[in-house]
Amino acid sequence: MKRLPIGIENFPDMIKKDYYYVDKTGLIETLVNRGGVANLFTRPRRFGKSLNMSMLQSFFEIGTDETLFDGLYISKNKALCEKYMGQYPVISVSLKSVEALNFDDAFDMVCDMVFEVALENQFLLESSQLTDVEKMTFKGLLENKMSRRIAVNGLKTVTTLLEKHFNKKVIILIDEYDVPLAKANQNGYYEQMVDLIRNMLSSVLKTNDSLEFAVLTGCLRVAKESIFTGLNNFNVFSITDEEFDESFGFTDDEVRQLLHYYGQDDKYDIVKAWYDGYRFGSEDVYCPWDVINYCNSHITNPDLEPKNYWLNTSGNDVIKHFIDIADGQNKAAKSELERLVNGEIIQKEIYEELTYSEMYDSIENLWSALFMTGYLTYRGKPNGRRYDLIVPNLEIRNIITEHILTLFRARLSADGQRVNAFCSALLGADAKMVEKLFTDFMESTISVRDTFVRKNIRENFYHGILLGILGCKAGWSVRSNCESGDGFSDIQVLIDDSDTGIVIEVKYADDGNVDELAEEAIKQIDKMRYTSYLYQYDVKHVLKYGIACYKKKCTAAMHEEWK
């Protein structure tokens, strides 16, 4: 059985080491037939951009191993393969590692990238096609410290010399072109980095007669006037374009085939609910990183719950900024975010040509940033710039709610008076005050109750709010989903220097009947003997709470029990 390619972005390794490969070589055919001189593909992170760039290099590069493509889609197009496969010098670079706290360090990283390109093409120093002056110019790229002029023109210099050596124009591949801009914006040297990247791209893409064509990838389509000044030959293929819509991400058929290969056909509905839902052009696609990781995890542990694989693969500043605004003073944004995480659609104008420096300038720009970075997707046909936006799947919904709860807990630490009041009401067996104060807490944060997920997942949000409150109380030991009696109770609380303990069972009322459901929660505590855990710790008195929620309404029922 083939191994799953966790983190494999090198196409030759993917094929030679017999990893499972989802065939995206149709990208080559479409690029040759419909692409332009300079082509930018914008997609969220973890959708296969780097692997596709490695695949392009392997196909076009002089001296390639043509057997890498045996049996793949592109091999059926004999005429195209004969004309293009292994026919071009290729320069392939990635800017994803150009991230630094200051411009000088970032510039050094760019110089390192140019140096690596020169190092890979050292054979030019022995070329009989180049003059001594040209070789001396090339040697300047191999020096430890290069000037800004040499660095900016470095890629163009190498393409010019490669064309002369091979008598063939050169293909340029630049992966994650906008990462240096994102990092520069975070660390306060954005304008300097914009100037550097603009001049470098202008040199290699605009005034370069040795260029056959170029492909760039990135997350955002940075405004043309900011980076791609004067590039009239520039084609952008964004997530809204139908061209290349199946080239990045997994289609439904591809996911079904992968699951079938690994004997996980029964996981299809779960994978679809958690990792599908993105719309690129007219195609619905899954996030490849999530599907591969989920499948890999379930080979050895079939009963493992799905989780958020995408969350920590990159920064989440966009969603953090948005939630901070929405959970603050912007009531409209708060209402719209609540609708989104609860499975509804909202309509917004999307501006794809943002600069990183503009992303946080307004809530309108943040909507666009959320869309382009994969936190939101769209349904139906757009009306001009207006799109019907939706949260794509359960994974993104969970990522958003986790950030909401994180912000909620951070604010609780500065709200000791309300925390103490709520805990005092719990310990004082004052159910009415418990439900009043808990309702107040719910009113102060974004409500998550989405109707398109299982009931127990809806309950998790209210469970999380309770844990956040109780976790701020000094001297209270709080356990969640603790094994007790004949099952697992939601929340158990032991209190220092007290023989009283607390058991809480949280419910969500689909029909809004919170009163009846709160009493059912108490019955569950009794039936499953959830109090038995507390009695192991010399507790003599237990307060049993059933808390039932519906939207921002709750009822708390309370029964007491003595040992």
Beta bridge partners of 386: 349, 383
**262: its two tokens:** 């690994």
User: Which CATH architecture fits 413-562?
Assistant: 3-Layer(aba) Sandwich (3.40)
Pairing of strands 170-175, 90-94: parallel
Domain with CATH 3.40.50 in the chain: 11-237
- What's the chain's length in residues? 563
**73: its two tokens:** 């889609």
Q: 51: which residues sit within 8 A by CB, 6+ positions away?
A: 8, 9, 10, 11, 14, 24
Q: Helix 179-187 to helix 190-201 angle, to the nearest 10 degrees?
A: 160
Residue 154 DSSP SS3: helix
Residue 181 DSSP SS3: helix
Q: 391: which residues sit within 8 A by CB, 6+ positions away?
A: 277, 340, 341, 343, 375, 376, 377, 397, 400
Confidence (pLDDT) at 220: 84
- Residue the block writes with tokens 């994969």: 374
Q: Helix 154-166 to helix 103-120 angle, to the nearest 10 degrees?
A: 10
Confidence (pLDDT) at 451: 42
Confidence (pLDDT) at 315: 57
Confidence (pLDDT) at 551: 79
Number of H helices and E strands in the chain, helices first, is: 22, 15
Contact 10, 44 (CB under 8 A): no
Residue 357 per-residue DSSP state = G
pLDDT tens for the chain, 563 residues: list them.
Answer: 999 999 999 999 999 999 999 999 999 999 999 888 999 999 999 999 999 999 999 999 999 999 999 999 999 999 999 999 999 999 999 999 998 999 999 999 999 999 999 999 999 999 999 999 999 999 999 987 889 999 999 999 999 999 999 999 999 999 999 999 999 998 999 999 999 999 999 999 988 999 999 999 998 887 665 777 767 667 889 999 998 999 999 999 999 999 999 999 999 999 999 999 999 999 999 999 999 999 999 999 999 989 889 876 555 778 888 888 776 666 788 788 888 887 889 999 998 888 888 888 888 888 999 999 999 999 999 999 999 999 999 999 888 888 877 777 777 777 788 899 999 999 999 999 999 999 988 887 766 654 444 445 667 888 888 988 998 898 999 999 888 889 999 999 999 989 999 999 999 888 888 999 999 999 999 999 999 999 999 899 999 999 999 877 889 999 999 98
CA 351 vs CA 87, 93, 180, 348, 355: distances in Å:
39, 28, 21, 10, 10
How many CB atoms lie under 10 A from the CB of residue 201? 23
CA 459 vs CA 217, 451, 453, 547, 555: distances in Å:
40, 11, 10, 10, 14
3-state secondary structure 49-70: HHHHHHHHHHHHECCCCHHHHC
Helix (H) / strand (E) element for 137: namely helix 132-139
User: Which CATH architecture fits 11-237?
Assistant: 3-Layer(aba) Sandwich (3.40)
Q: N- to C-terminal Cα distance for the chain? A: 57
Cα–Cα dist 316/320, whole Å? 6
Residue (of 124, 134, 125, 212) closest to 162 by Cα position: 124
One-letter amino acid for residue 63 of the chain: G
Residues 525-560: b if buried by 16+ CB within 10 A, e if exposed: beebebbebbbeeebeebbbbbbbbbeeebbbbbbe
CA 6 vs CA 14, 294, 309, 464: distances in Å:
10, 10, 11, 31
Helix (H) / strand (E) element for 478: namely strand 476-484
**558: its two tokens:** 């309370």
One-letter amino acid for residue 519 of the chain: E
- Residue the block writes with tokens 């058991």: 503
Domain with CATH 3.40.1350 in the chain: 413-562
**210: its two tokens:** 């040795």
Pairing of strands 500-508, 487-495: antiparallel
What phi and psi, each to the nearest 5 degrees, are found at residue 481? Answer: 50, 50
